[in-house]
Structure 1
């Protein structure tokens, strides 16, 4: 009759322990994979949301040509969104013009600049915005001051060009918004931003306005 080895029960327990460890490891691996998958899904979702934002713009693209307001810096807060849930195809020319101008908020100032990729100077900014609507403005602020219809300050409306300088020459141009605010490519070291005609500097330098549309 064969003898029973005393190691057999011990071997059986060890086998069970190894099997249990393998099960635990497999379960952890599955859980880890699941977590990675969730993170990947969340990343893809975030990237999808991020892709819907217009660069440096206070507008969120909802799909197609639909936009809605985004939280924007306090300097913009006093200016109503000219493109609130309005379709590009159904909006007025002035609304489209202001939407284009707003899309460049934060773009760096660059002397001689005429494109978003390189930056704008003041007249480069107005030239770019108007060109997107089929209007070819002269390149310099001085020449733009000769375009369109002369508008009194009290009669300003969205989209009008506002000019600054002194008795001898025009040195700066921007696009009027409302409530005495205008958007412009400010100056060296600054960006496309919104300022007020009531600020002492701009109030002192204000020279006139022109309506192109």
Structure 2
């Protein structure tokens, strides 16, 4: 559970009670006061973020499975072509061998003695002997070629069958992910609608307070050089940008994971789009050893739903919730369900 609304509630002269982590329903009871309205928005926003990240992760998984299908099909086409060529070579060598076998079984005498007995002169014998040697060499090459072609055709056939199996498996996996994608999309849409409904219940002054709260002042003079420092400054440059669910436009609308993705992109480092993938990038780092540029993740092992960037001095910058803007808050302002931290670069 995140607690970024504390400062807003303080400005409004009310106190926010501890919020349950139970998901908000699209049919939540209407709030009876300003405190309830903010509480419902916070609960609904967290649910929206959590379900939305799961849906985005599923979309990424689906795209990855489609890429697997395309690669498997390309490999299959290559292996099938190799199998076709190997069988053509087999047929060619088999034809040569068959002609040789047919000639010998039909009485053709291909021995050196035959050349000696039928030759009209020593020169004629040498010519015939040389020709028989060439024929023998050709037949030997044909037999060796056939043996090699048979082995190659067998290997190519096995490879093509393996490629076919991989293609079938990839297609089945893609379908499995696709079958569950619509249900996750529906859940994400419902959560988004619930969060918007909760936001619509706020008073005008509450909405203004949320949108204008940029958090704590910050100092960039201690930001370290290197990629991490560039990312920190890029993220801080987005302070005041509205939180937009699924947003990916700097200066217009960002969500938590697109903010850190954008920030590190400015440093030339590519991060995945969603928190469930971002949490696997870099190396683990303890909360006590945080350095500017490190990423903090909130949620659980099975449901990492929020990410923020450490900027030093016990502060983080993040895109919080519906109705808010990118802001700087204490680490505790990221949420009470801190899970882990990752260092993206060691510079």
> Is 1:96 the equivalent of 2:230?
yes
Is the Cα–Cα contact under 8 Å of residues 82 and 99 in structure 1 kept in the other structure?
Answer: no
Contact between 1:181 and 1:196, CA under 8 Å: does it hold in 2?
yes
Shift of 1:93: 2.5
Give the CA deviation at 1:181. 1.1
Distance in 2, matches of 1:106 and 1:117, equals 8
* 2:312 equivalent to 1:172: no
CA distance in 1, matches of 2:234, 2:322: 22
Q: Does residue 205 of structure 1 match 2:342?
A: no
Partners of 2:228 and 2:267 within 8 A in 1: no
Q: TM-score, normalised by structure 2?
A: 0.36
Which one has more relative contact order, counting CA pairs under 8 Å at least 6 apart?
2
More strand by share: 1
CA contact (8 A) 2:231 2:293 kept: yes
2:274 is aligned to: 140
Unaligned runs of 5+ in 1: 1-72
The unaligned stretches of length 5 or more in structure 2 are 1-212
Residue 80 of structure 1: which of 195, 200, 219 is its match?
219
2: CA distance, partners of 1:127 / 1:121: 10
Residue 193 (1) aligns with residue 327 (2):
yes
- 2: distance between equivalents of 1:196 and 1:116? 23
SS in 2 for 1:172: strand
Number of positions where the alignment pairs a residue of Structure 1 with one of Structure 2: 133
Alpha-carbon separation, structure 1, partners of 2:278 and 2:239: 21
Matched residue of 1:127: which SS?
helix
Task: Give the Cα separation in 1 of the matches to 2:284 and 2:221.
Answer: 23
Which one has the largest radius of gyration?
A: 2
TM (norm. structure 1) is 0.57
CA distance in 1, matches of 2:285, 2:295: 9
Secondary structure of 2:288's aligned partner: helix
Higher helix share: 2
Alpha-carbon distance, 1:192 to partner? 0.5
Describe how 1:15-164 pairs up with structure 2 within 5 A.
75-77=215-217, 79-82=218-221, 91-164=225-298
Which position in structure 1 is the counterpart of 2:53?
none
1:183 aligns with 2:317: yes
